[in-house]
Amino acid sequence: MAEYTHSTSWTPFDASTYRIGIVTGQFNTEACELLVANAKEKLTQYRVSDDTVDVFRVSGSAELPVVLKHLATTEKYDALVAIGVIVRGQTVHFDYVAKIATEGILRVQMDYGIPIGFGVLMLENHDQLADRIRVGGDAAEAALQSAKVIKENS
């Protein structure tokens, strides 16, 4: 049986007029910064320049939704990207933070109609991170592609 590999078939488009907000947790800072760098790298493939990307840092993944909501209310951004890293520990804390982040981000998207690329990693251990750094770029690309659909149909 063939092994599944991750791939996308998106063609980058000119998103040079798009304004993007990235909100990243600072718990697991080094990992989050790698994801942000990957997201910004992907944005350049869509001709999004650094001066149209704002990065906001919050404590952790549980704090992502409230800042995303605030940014959505400004109507300044075409798309947002949520970046976080949650690593399972020896307590149930992981489950609660993952739920808060996931449901909060979904709620902001649905309540405000703004695409939010979901770049929150939920890992069993830190060793899983290396294979998932591309998620920052995947999240940025998903947000851009959704923003394009919204713009074309508004």
> Which residue of the set 6, 70, 93, 126 is catalytic?
93
By the 8 A CB rule, do 141 and 115 touch?
Answer: no
Q: Note if 93 is an active site residue.
A: yes
Measuring CA to CA, which residue among 81, 87, 105, 90 is closest to residue 22?
81
CA diameter of the chain: 49
Query: How are beta strands 116-123 and 53-58 bridged, if at all?
Result: unpaired
H or E element at residue 7: none
By the 8 A CB rule, do 22 and 83 touch?
Answer: yes
Catalytic annotation, residues: 93
